[in-house]
Amino acid sequence: MSRSAELRDNLTTVQRRIAGAARSVGRDPGEVDLVVITKYFPVDDVRRLIDLGVQHVGENKDQEASQKLADLSAAEREGVRVHFVGQLQSNKAGHVSAYADVVQSVDRAKIVNALAKGAARHERDVDVMLQVDLDGSDPGRGGVLVDDLLDLAQSVADADRLTLRGVMAVAPRGGDAGDAFARLAELAGTVQAVHPGADCISAGMSADLEAAIEHGATHVRVGSAILGPRPSL
Ligand SMILES: *Cc1c(COP(=O)(O)O)cnc(C)c1O
């Protein structure tokens, strides 16, 4: 089977999973955006996905992402939203604002400042989601602690060229993904009570997207279920 056919079949399977999960809780499948995480895969796969109608692609490393996006022509990128979902260092965050439309992994004030400066320098507007650390005990995966979430939300709301769009999380290892996503939905509500426009919840990956959609996810981030197992770099 050609790579395009393989991607098409996997995409169809994932779209069916999304639709099934949404309908099972009475949600419109159209409320859930599929962000295909293309990290470690070549730009040709990104092109194939765009040809198949994918409108949201995500990357998690600045260098890899900026190279791949530079390889796409403006015409190829037209209508595609680029999400950055990886951990950021403050010295890289400004650079991400050169090409990302959405940065989902903002987890501290230093990153907000660096992104805002980069967005101003590149004259671009960038949507922001706040990555929440749902278990507070796994610092390697990033995320703002729940106690600091509202302060961080305010700093994004106050920044020029950044728009606060919502929250993002990765389910803690071990434990029930549904419980984690229920907690995230609660936190999303807390943020939205202060910032009504911040109505997005990015949760769920290949293994747990159903649980995320049941708990209100508006964005799922799916890599391996569409692209296959990631090659090691
Ligand atoms: C890689 C990645 C994903 C996709 O993971 P899969 O299990 O391959 O679907 C989702 N979110 C983030 C933050 C990632 O880095």
Tens of pLDDT along 177-190?
A: 999 999 999 999 99
Helices first, then strands: H and E counts in the chain: 10, 8
Q: Distance from the CA of 99 to the center of ligand 1, in angstroms?
A: 19
Using an 8 Å Cβ cutoff, are 43 and 71 in contact?
yes
Backbone angles phi, psi at 168, to 5 degrees: -140, 150
Ligand 1 close to Cβ of residue 39 (< 6 A) = yes
pLDDT at 233 > cutoff 90? no
d(CA 21, CA 133): 25
Separation of CA 20 from chain center: 21
- Ligand 1 pocket, mutate which of 14, 60, 129, 230 (most atoms under 8 A from CB): 60
Best mutation site among 11, 34, 37 for ligand 1 pocket (most ligand atoms within 8 Å of CB) = 37
CATH for the 3-227 domain, from 3.30.930.10, 3.30.2350.10, 3.40.50.2300, 3.20.20.10? 3.20.20.10
Name the burial class of residue 73, with classes exposed (0-12), middle (13-18) and buried (19+) by CB atoms within 10 angstroms of its CB: exposed
Query: How many residues belong to the chain?
Result: 233
91 against 231, higher pLDDT: 91
CA gyration radius, the chain = 17
The per-residue pLDDT for range 132-156, each reduced to its tens digit, is 999 876 566 789 999 999 999 999 9
221 lines ligand 1 (CB under 6 A): yes
- Which atom of ligand 1 lies nearest, measured to the CA of 221? 10
206 lines ligand 1 (CB under 6 A): yes
